Each structure stands twice: as structure tokens, then as C-alpha cells.
């Protein structure tokens, strides 16, 4: 539950406000415009009106919150948050949002030496230069644990040449 609360904090306040306005606006439009002036919807039984006006605005409310989450989450992960927010809004049927959850980077780690937040993509801390992952002795790019040769430059990875793994 506290994990959930932590994640909710990622959603910017503007998204909460927008979601609230969208929710209220839809409820008002349904009850004061659609049900009164739209002959088809006006003929609906009362229970259907209540269910519809509870469900649809709630779905839109959650949709706006998810877009806000993409914005805040992409930002803290060091991704292009504006681009991802636009994709989440513009690609229909929430496909932009789903795509985001598939490709998002891991959360930044704290540097063990200086405490700076470092994107998981980088093998070195940008503040103090501490190695945070095993890197190639020749090209200094990040290595996967199973490699016997560097996939970036082809250098042979003798264990003696390797930097010690970063303390976690
Ligand atoms: Zn550091
Ligand atoms: Zn290399």
C-alpha cells in the first residue's frame, strides 16, 4: 500500500486537477446536456444513466492520471518525459501509455560514494566518476555479466583486467 502511495506522488498536481475537472465536467454534461437533450440517451432507464455517469467519467479520470504518471515517472527515470507524455495523449486507446510501461528505463540508483541519483543506463556516476557497473577496460562501456568479449569493441575480457564490480 505504501508502494502505491509512493507511486501516486509521481503524478503531478496539475494532472490531479485536470483529472478532477474532466470528471466533474463529464458528469455535468451527461446529467444536464446529454440526458436532457439527447433523445436516445434521455430514454435510458434511470439505473443505466446512473451507472453510465459513474463509470465513464471515472475511466476518463484514471486515464488523465495515467498520463500524469507517465510524465512524472519518465522524468524521474531520465527519459524524454515531454515526448512520452505527448505519445500517451496522442496515440489512441491508451497504446502510448502501454508502450511506455514496456520500454521505460529502470529507476535511477543512488551513487554509493556521493549519493547522486544516476540513471541505470550509465556505468559511471556523473557527479563523482565512481564506477557503478562493470565496464570494458578498452572502451569503458558497460558490460553484461555473461560476456567473455566486449560487445561494443570486441576486447577480450580477462577477469584480471576487469574493474571490480560496484558495491551495492
Ligand atoms: Zn557519485
Ligand atoms: Zn569495449
Give mean pLDDT, residues 26-36.
93
Strand partners, 69: none
pLDDT of residue 34: 92
65/127 same-domain check: no
Question: Is 168 within a domain?
Answer: no
Contact 119, 77 (CB under 8 A): yes
**Cα–Cα separations (whole angstroms), residue 116 to 73, 111, 121, 122, 123:** 18, 5, 14, 13, 13
97/113 same-domain check: no
CA distance 145 to 147: 6
119/98 same-domain check: no
Question: Measured in angstroms, how far is the CA atom of residue 138 from the centroid of ligand 2?
Answer: 5
Kindly identify the ligand whose nearest atom is closest to the C-alpha of 124. 1
Report the domain count for the chain. 2
Residues with beta carbon < 5 A to ion ligand 2?
136, 138-139, 150, 152-153, 155
pLDDT of residue 164: 55
pLDDT of residue 142: 86
Q: Final residue of a domain: which of 60, 86, 105?
A: 105
Selected residue with higher pLDDT from 26 and 6: 26
45/22 same-domain check: yes
Rg from Cα positions in the chain: 24
12/72 same-domain check: yes
Task: Collapse the DSSP code of 52 into the 3-class scheme (helix H, G, I; strand E, B; otherwise coil) and give the result.
Answer: helix
> Over the stretch 47-87, which tens digit does the pLDDT of each residue have?
999 999 999 999 999 999 999 999 999 998 889 999 999 99
Question: Measured in angstroms, how far is the CA atom of residue 151 from the centroid of ligand 2?
Answer: 7
> Over the stretch 112-159, which tens digit does the pLDDT of each residue have?
999 998 887 788 999 999 988 888 989 988 888 889 999 999 999 876
Give mean pLDDT, residues 23-46.
92
Question: Is 131 within a domain?
Answer: yes
pLDDT of residue 56: 94
Kindly identify the ligand whose nearest atom is closest to the C-alpha of 151. 2
Kindly identify the ligand whose nearest atom is closest to the C-alpha of 128. 1
Q: Final residue of a domain: which of 65, 88, 105?
A: 105
pLDDT band with cut points at 50, 70 and 90 for residue 27 = very high
pLDDT band with cut points at 50, 70 and 90 for residue 165 = low
Selected residue with higher pLDDT from 55 and 161: 55
Q: Looking at residue 91, what DSSP letter applies?
A: S
19/88 same-domain check: yes
Give mean pLDDT, residues 38-47.
90
Q: Final residue of a domain: which of 59, 83, 105?
A: 105
pLDDT of residue 113: 93
Question: Is 128 within a domain?
Answer: yes
Question: Measured in angstroms, how far is the CA atom of residue 142 from the centroid of ligand 2?
Answer: 8
Question: Measured in angstroms, how far is the CA atom of residue 24 from the centroid of ligand 1?
Answer: 47
98/25 same-domain check: yes
Q: Provide the residue range defining the domain that includes 116.
A: 108-163
Kindly identify the ligand whose nearest atom is closest to the C-alpha of 141. 2
Question: Measured in angstroms, how far is the CA atom of residue 135 from the centroid of ligand 1?
Answer: 16
84-102 CB burial, b ≥16 within 10 A, e <16 = bbebbeeeeeeebbeebee
pLDDT of residue 78: 85
- Please report, in angstroms and rounded to a whole number, the separation of the first and last CA atoms in the chain: 26
Amino acid at each position: 500500500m505504501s508502494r502505491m502511495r509512493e507511486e501516486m506522488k509521481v503524478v503531478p498536481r496539475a494532472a490531479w486537477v485536470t483529472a478532477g475537472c474532466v470528471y466533474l465536467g463529464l458528469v455535468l454534461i451527461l446529467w444536464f446536456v446529454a440526458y436532457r437533450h439527447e433523445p436516445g440517451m434521455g430514454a435510458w432507464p434511470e439505473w443505466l444513466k446512473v451507472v453510465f455517469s459513474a463509470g465513464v467519467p471515472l475511466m476518463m479520470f484514471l486515464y488523465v492520471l495515467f498520463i500524469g504518471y507517465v510524465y512524472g515517472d519518465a522524468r524521474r527515470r531520465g527519459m524524454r518525459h515531454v515526448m512520452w507524455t505527448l505519445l500517451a495523449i496522442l496515440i489512441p486507446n491508451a497504446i502510448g501509455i502501454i508502450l511506455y510501461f514496456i520500454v521505460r528505463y529502470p529507476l535511477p540508483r543512488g551513487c554509493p560514494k556521493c549519493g547522486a541519483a544516476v540513471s541505470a543506463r550509465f556505468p559511471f556516476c556523473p557527479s563523482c566518476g565512481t564506477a557503478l557497473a562493470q565496464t570494458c577496460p578498452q572502451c569503458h562501456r558497460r558490460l553484461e555479466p555473461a560476456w567473455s568479449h566486449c560487445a561494443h569493441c570486441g576486447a577480450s575480457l580477462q577477469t584480471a583486467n576487469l574493474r571490480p564490480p560496484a558495491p551495492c
